Structure 1
């Protein structure tokens, strides 16, 4: 086996392997497509037609059911309004028991009087003023009173029934004044059973959604309403452009109810429909199945191998690009370091030479000698700090640590100070106190590319050359803005500035700076790099995670 894998690895690069794979794939594909297209077309046609017809049928049934219940509750309330039932509790309760006897239209009935009395299924239920005040602000009661019409409302939990219910309510009048609210109550879990006691076997599930995507009722219980609600709202946002949406690999056709701001959803059991076309499959079944399995196994092996190979090459390529970018900036950094070390080095040499001459002539005291030596030590510390900053920048490792963002930027600017001073470029860093946990080396590399680009943009300007750096925290991300007041970019160039092989403005530029910086920001720092403004000023926006995990 150990010899077999390297052998395949070597052979996979051979053109003959690819040729064999292509010929084999075409042969199996042509054989399978002839049967698959015929079956797929039949299933798709039957499924779509059936789903559409069932959606219309269930929608019609639901509309009629709701209309009938709303008319019926209005009829019941009218009888109460035009009789003396409202004044005679015995007659009222007897009437409620009579209409609730066979539960033909509703599971329960209740009348809530505006004087804080509640009649439920022919019995008086005592309620406190506090309970009545709470009921008055509930949607089913408030909408019925305020709109002065029959309403239908989903109620999360009925206090007496201890379950979710649907209330169909209408006002009761006495002398043109609302004196009570009459409600027919349906248990939510039985809602669909009352509308459609029997559903075709091809229907996988049917749903009633409200305008917010919540499932009011369904034939089969849902494990999670959160996922289907999310899929519904996304499709609704697009205006149900495909007349439905995809949920758990099943397409749910959507139709809006006319009487309510509700939606009917129907998903079809395509497996059941498929059984009607099995005769077509049997014609070429055995040969197609065997060839298909072989194709799957072989293609899966080849695909996995090639994919791993490509991923490995891609990672190697990105590492090479990273180092190429690093090396492309090294020359300028070394030049900056050289200029920055000259002053303290020359000062130390001059001071040591003078001290040595004075010592030989015996014209320097011990105190002056110590003072000169301390000055030399201080100068050496400055040089050591500069070299350490350069060394830390050039490590280019994957270490994630906590550091101060402003200090990180200042360390980088300390390396570039002399270089930018030669071009009379001022760099303004706004004051911010941001601690982050990230990769400082990668962050400084991106900032270096942006600073060098700004320097190139400002090199053609005669005066008032300014680079501004600011940062702020936005939730779990840190946004860094780097701007310059150069000439800016054209719209055409702004669109292609992050292309993989976009040419650099520098004569000897590698052309990968911004492209690779974007890759590093996305893959290494958990963020992104974008062009925030292409002129007046030109601003780049770098987003990174505030706290990264190791």
Structure 2
């Protein structure tokens, strides 16, 4: 009897070891899938960023061209060029090129790999993010409003926070354009409650028109977007949950959808 019990125990122990091995293999596979999807999300964001660069630089390039057109015309007509006019044009040129250089730094920082969590001010990262995408919003006359009740400091991967913001704002922008919304707008509201930092991104695109609404976070669910990859919002929730110990929620309000990022304060 004892031998039978020992055999059963050893068989059960072997079975448990096999289950543990399979569990570890599945965990490793899921982690590999998450890494792959994260890379796909980054590549999709890179495509978006290239478009945003063109939007961000188009206006400054036009301004540079307009600065020197009058001077060129005077030179061609053998008219005198005032030194004051030249200095003013050069100063404006320096301001524009500095702005373009800062924009490139923002893009470069966005794609830099966050090696460790750091403390960062929320407003600074929001401004950097807006600098990346504002040209794209302006080109479609989309009004962006930012309401900051406080400027908290967070501990985390600041570029990943920026990626989440960009994914949500780009999603709102695409729907505002696709649905041809009059007076399109996006509002970002920063608040604090119960030792949590709450970032709400609200639009007036008419809301999420699927049930259940949480389906927008499913992988490869494109939700009306014609050329979407279906991983932006999925990866955004994954980043907030796994890397920020927070939550990403969505609900419909009066005029459109409202995505809310909830992150614990330091």
Q: Taking structure 2 as the reference length, what is the TM-score of the superposition?
A: 0.85
**Corresponding position: 1:316 with 2:32:** yes
Q: Is the 8 A contact 2:152 2:197 kept in 1?
A: no
SS in 2 for 1:531: strand
1:338 aligns with 2:54: yes
Deviation at 1:494, TM superposition (A): 0.9
Q: Show structure 2 runs of 5+ residues with no match.
A: none
Closer, same or farther: CA 372–455 of 1 in aligned 2, 3 Å: closer
- Aligned equivalents of 1:348 and 1:414: distance in 2? 19
Distance 1:343 1:491 in 2: 38
Shift of 1:532: 3.3
Picking from 500, 508, 514, the partner of 2:219 is 500
1:492 aligned counterpart, secondary structure: coil
**Residues 300/455 of structure 1: CA separation in 2 closer, same or farther (3 Å cut):** same
1:474 matched to 2:193: yes
The question of 1:442 aligning with 2:163 is answered no
The answer to whether residue 126 in structure 2 is matched with residue 402 in structure 1 is no
Match of 1:456 among 174, 184, 187: 174
RCO greater where, 1 or 2, for CA within 8 Å and sep 6 or more? 2
Check whether the contact 2:198–2:262 (CA below 8 A) recurs between aligned residues: yes
Corresponding residue for residue 113 of structure 1: none
1:515 corresponding residue in structure 2: 234
Distance (Å, rounded) in 1 between the aligned partners of 2:254 and 2:63: 43
Instruction: Specify which of 285, 292, 296 is matched with residue 2 of structure 2.
Output: 285
SS of 2:211's equivalent? helix
2-structure distance, mates of 1:358, 1:465: 43
What is the TM-score normalised by the length of structure 1? 0.44
Instruction: Give secondary structure in 1 for the equivalent of 2:244.
Output: coil
Cα deviation, residue 287, structure 1: 1.6
Residues 440 and 478 (structure 1 numbering): CA distance in 2 closer, same or farther, change over 3 Å? same
CA distance in 2, matches of 1:490, 1:356: 55
Larger radius of gyration: 1
Query: What root-mean-square deviation, in Å, do the aligned CA atoms of Structure 1 and Structure 2 show?
Result: 2.7
Q: In the TM superposition, what is the alpha-carbon distance from 1:341 to its structure 2 partner?
A: 1.0
Q: What is the aligned partner in structure 2 of residue 545 from structure 1?
A: 264
For residues 159-308 of structure 1, the aligned pairs below 5 Å read 284-296=1-13, 298-308=14-24
Does residue 139 of structure 2 align to residue 422 of structure 1? yes
In structure 2, the partner of 1:386 is: 103
Distance in 2 of aligned mates of 1:300 and 1:356: 82
Shift of 1:461: 3.4
8 Å CA contact 2:168–2:201 kept in 1: the answer is yes
- Using the alignment, how far apart are the partners of 2:249 and 2:162 within structure 1? 16
1:480 is displaced (CA, Å) by 1.2
The 1:350/1:421 distance shift into structure 2, 3 A limit, reads: closer
Tell me the SS of whatever aligns to 1:403: strand
Question: Within 2, Cα distance between the matches of 1:307 and 1:524?
Answer: 23
* Cα distance, 1:479 vs structure 2: 1.1
- Per the TM alignment, residue 307 of structure 1 is displaced from its structure 2 partner at its CA by 3.1
Q: Give the number of aligned pairs.
A: 263
User: Which runs of 5 or more residues in structure 1 are unaligned?
Assistant: 1-283
